[in-house]
């Protein structure tokens, strides 16, 4: 069964959500019971929550580094969201490079959008520039 991880914005607890349930109804936090907003199966996270999720995830974590002012990021965002709902074997996260500047610098993000895949807490590959939903799905699947 496919799943995703997200952090509750209300109580900061880490939640593992079944993908089918997260897509069919508004997910709620397992600790505080409040609604958790996702975009498809994408969670926007902070540096702290990013680190928690990549350490905990038993599947690849695909991260979109982006910014609100970036034209290609605006085009890529919806494609990233669609791919998250059609890919069963990965967790999808977004990190705003403007609000998480230290992480972006630490990761060596030089241009955006930049998609980075982590497995077992380690970076395994990255791709600069926007991709279509199909290109992203193939990239995640290693094709």
Strand ranges of the sheet holding 42-44, from the earlier edge strand across to the other edge: 42-44, 91-96, 61-66, 114-119, 122-128
For the question of residue 70 being annotated catalytic, the response is yes
Residue identified by tokens 């936090």 is 29
Catalytic residue among 8, 29, 32, 70: 70
Residue identified by tokens 């109804």 is 25
Report the chain's C-alpha Rg in angstroms. Answer: 14
Helix (H) or strand (E) holding 86: helix 71-86
Strand partners, 93: 43, 63
Catalytic residue among 8, 29, 73, 114: 73
**Which residues does 112 contact at the CB level (< 8 Å), separation at least 6?**
65, 66, 67, 70, 72, 73, 97
For the question of residue 8 being annotated catalytic, the response is no
Catalytic (active-site) positions:
70, 73
């Amino acid at each position: 069964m496919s799943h995703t991880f997200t952090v509750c914005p209300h109580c900061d607890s880490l939640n593992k959500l079944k993908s089918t349930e997260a897509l069919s109804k508004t997910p709620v936090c397992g600790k505080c019971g409040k609604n958790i907003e996702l975009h498809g199966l994408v969670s926007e996270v902070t540096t702290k929550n990013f680190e928690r999720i990549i350490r905990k995830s038993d599947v690849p974590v695909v991260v979109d580094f982006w910014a609100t002012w970036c034209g290609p990021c605006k085009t890529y965002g919806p494609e990233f969201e669609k791919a998250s709902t059609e890919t069963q074997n990965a967790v999808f996260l977004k990190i705003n490079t403007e609000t998480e500047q230290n992480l972006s610098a630490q990761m060596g993000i030089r241009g955006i959008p930049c998609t980075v895949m982590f497995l077992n807490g380690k970076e395994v590959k990255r791709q600069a520039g926007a991709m279509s939903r199909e290109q992203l799905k193939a990239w995640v699947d290693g094709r």
